[in-house]
Amino acid sequence: MLQSVSARQVLENTLIDRKSWRLQDGVDLRQLIDFERRSVSMRVLTDPEIHRLELKHIFAKAWIMVGHESELPEAGDFVVRYIGQDQVIITRATDGAIHIMLNACSHRGMEICRVDRGNAKLLKCPYHGWTFRSDGALVGAPFEREMYGDWDKSGYGLHRANVAIRHGVIFGSFDPEPPTLERWMGDFIWYFDQMYGQAEFEVLSGRMPRQTLKANWKIAAEQQSGDGYHAASLHRGLIDLGLYNNPSAPVDYGLDGLDVSTVAGHGLRINENAHAVLKIADQPEDFPIGWFVTGCMFPGVMVAGAANRGGSHYVSMALDEKAPIMRSAYLGTISPRTPDSYAMWNFLLVEKGAADVVREGMKKQAVSAAIGADDYVAWESVQRSARGYVAQERASLNYNALLGENRPEDWPGPALVHRGFSKDDNQWHFWLRWYDMMTADFA
């Protein structure tokens, strides 16, 4: 079996000589990533051409999380979300199927749904009245015979995305022929299943507010895929708030753990004994919380929550009245808006049948707001630095520390495993995948 160093180097060797796009000022995208130093030019955070290339080669290709089935219980239910910068309607048809389609009338482009969610068996565009079925097919227009005679409506349906659902999580892809979701996720899928497949979840609230940040989407996504290293410094406040069990041991701030990376660019960090690290109110020492996981499924699906230790015992949230916040399952999805900003949808998942006290506890945001506040400061600040010409030309994001793979013998999961001090392995894989997708046309 190949060790991860080989897997990473194999990927790098594929990419290192690959031709790439030439930007308008003559710079090749290839010049913006340095495989020897493992650094990426800050220009990638602000360049509008690069942004558009990302929308084309990444966001119009990848499987993007857009919602959860439990948000659409009834036929005719719909929500409006985003894939990349495109607004999409997600519907539940009368036959139970889920559909995803562009929220732009195929006639003259008006948004068909101008609310966040609702219920409508048929979707009618306000502009000229063109009417669509839940699967996006055009079924009628006002004065149809007068206007169009005996016409073929089949070419005038809404632009549809492919749909894949796993554990109720809805993904959409505008790739005309995407790989299956399973193939796209690759080895990451085992971890995804640990986190979201051990019970039947529903969205605690199907109407999560969007948050925006004045930062390029990649700043958030790449940090979420790994970066245990920042915890001691940026989240130092958590120490002062008394939220860590062992504040005298820096390695217990979450720097020590298990990083999982993949050549597909998905990455996550696991604290294997989460309650030994973070203090959780009213929780007994031997509570089998298992892992606490944070990660990012490329390009921007954020995962977080507790997972059991490989399938042997999952503790039902519904039975435990003292379930702490840490046991919420979380999903987030990032959507780029401009090179300088992104929007994020946050979903909290709760096990179906969970007691009210568990649901109420999960709604408390004080701790997550405290942690998030630190990250947002850093991310917006990176974006501010990237405004300048010199930063864009000469400054870079650096990934000059790799742990390499050192899978423990008894580790039950697949993918590339880095056990120990959290280094830059996951994040470097994010950028390898980024370059890989951006230059796929040249492969």
What is the token pair recorded at 324? Answer: 């702490």
Would you say 91 and 78 are in contact if contact means Cβ atoms under 8 Å apart? yes
370 binds another protein (CB under 8 A): yes
Considering only residues 219 to 258 of the shown chain, the ones binding another protein according to CB under 8 A are 233-234, 236-237, 240-241
In one-letter notation, the amino acid at residue 173 is S
214 binds another protein (CB under 8 A): yes
26 binds another protein (CB under 8 A): no
Q: How far is the CB of 26 from another protein (least distance, A)?
A: 32
34 binds another protein (CB under 8 A): no
**Beta pairing partners, 166:** 169
Q: How far is the CB of 380 from another protein (least distance, A)?
A: 7
- Tell which one of 376, 385, 398, 402 touches another protein (CB under 8 A): 376
Query: Left (φ > 0), alpha (ψ -120 to 50) or beta: where does 352 sit?
Result: beta
Would you say 199 and 275 are in contact if contact means Cβ atoms under 8 Å apart? no
205 binds another protein (CB under 8 A): yes
Exposure of 110 in the CB half-sphere (CA atoms within 13 A): 12
The interface region with another protein, picked from 58-66, 89-97, 179-187, 378-386 by CB under 8 A, is 378-386
Shorter beta-carbon distance to another protein: residue 27 or 239: 239
State the residue for tokens 């921007």: 300
Would you say 61 and 178 are in contact if contact means Cβ atoms under 8 Å apart? yes
Say if residue 292 is exposed, middle or buried (CB neighbours under 10 Å; 0-12, 13-18, 19+): buried
Shorter beta-carbon distance to another protein: residue 249 or 377: 377
343 binds another protein (CB under 8 A): yes
- Which of 217, 216, 219, 247 is closest to 231 using CA atoms? 247
- Tell which one of 97, 115, 276, 440 touches another protein (CB under 8 A): 115
Quote the CA–CA distance of 332 and 329 in Å, as a whole number. Answer: 10
357 binds another protein (CB under 8 A): no
Q: Which long-range contacts (CB under 8 A, 24 or more apart) does 86-89 make?
A: 86/174, 87/111, 88/161, 88/172, 89/113, 89/123, 89/158
- Tell which one of 96, 155, 209, 284 touches another protein (CB under 8 A): 209
Shorter beta-carbon distance to another protein: residue 75 or 378: 378
- Tell which one of 22, 207, 313, 322 touches another protein (CB under 8 A): 207
Backbone angles phi, psi at 234, to 5 degrees: -65, -40
76 binds another protein (CB under 8 A): no
Q: Summarize as ranges the residues that interact with another protein (CB under 8 A).
A: 114-118, 204-214, 233-234, 236-237, 240-241, 343-344, 348, 363-367, 369-370, 372-374, 376-378, 380, 384
